[in-house]
Amino acid sequence: MAQIGYSKKVMEHFMNPRNVGVIENPDGYGKVGNPVCGDLMEIFIKVKDAKIDDIKFRTFGCGSAIAVSSMVTEMAKGKTLEEAMKITRKDVADELEGLPPQKMHCSNLGADALHDAIKDYWVKSGKIKADEVKEVEGHEGVSCPTE
């Protein structure tokens, strides 16, 4: 099987993805999709002491999308919500030791789904209002203006 353009780390996370599954009654839930390629990612988080205590994903998509989902959950687990919000698509791609250019959109989805799950938690917990979420959307994986 050809692995052109895929790092060993991408292949490892695709073949042995971490944190696959669903969290029943999650504290935060994010769902993003790319209608062009058909990829769909869902991220579920449990929060304890303002940190991501547990995180799971369910992804329908290519090997890169699965690897990105696996990596983003690994990167976010144990971090504070603020730290996890700073994870960008570039961070995810770098951790995976690169993605082929035509697959970079997959790393956007991972960061976006994570950020959506955190925003969902913040809305549910009253930290932000639902109408404030829309202002942050559309930054394609770069959610912190302080970067």
Q: Active-site residue 144, yes or no?
A: no
Q: Active-site residue 62, yes or no?
A: no
Q: Which runs of consecutive H residues, i.e. helices, occur in the chain?
A: 8-15, 63-76, 81-85, 89-95, 104-124, 130-136
Mean pLDDT of 11-40: 92
* Under 8 Å between Cβ of 107 and 94: no
113 in any annotated domain: yes
pLDDT at 27 over 70: yes
Pair of tokens at residue 77: 């687990």
Q: What is the total count of domains within the chain?
A: 1
140 in any annotated domain: no
Of 11, 20, 31, 37, which one is the catalytic site residue?
37
145 in any annotated domain: no
CA distances from 140 to 15, 34, 57, 67 (A): 27, 12, 19, 19
- Find the angle CA(6)-CA(10)-CA(12) to the nearest 5 degrees: 120
107 in any annotated domain: yes
pLDDT at 71: 96
pLDDT at 3 over 70: no
Range of the domain at 61: 8-132
Question: What is the residue-averaged pLDDT of the chain?
Answer: 85
CATH number of the domain encompassing residue 69: 3.90.1010.10
User: pLDDT class for 134, splitting at 50, 70, 90?
Assistant: low
Which residue, among 84, 89, 76, 103, has the nearest Cα to 7 in the 3D structure?
Answer: 103
142 in any annotated domain: no
pLDDT at 145 over 70: no
Pair of tokens at residue 123: 């809305």
Which residue, among 93, 136, 131, has the nearest Cα to 115 in the 3D structure?
Answer: 136
Of 41, 45, 106, 117, which one is the catalytic site residue?
106
pLDDT at 142 over 70: no
User: Which residues have a Cβ under 8 Å from the Cβ of 63 and sit 6 or more positions away?
Assistant: 6, 10, 11, 14
The pLDDT tens digits of the residues spanning 86-107 come to 999 899 989 999 887 777 777 7
pTM: 0.84
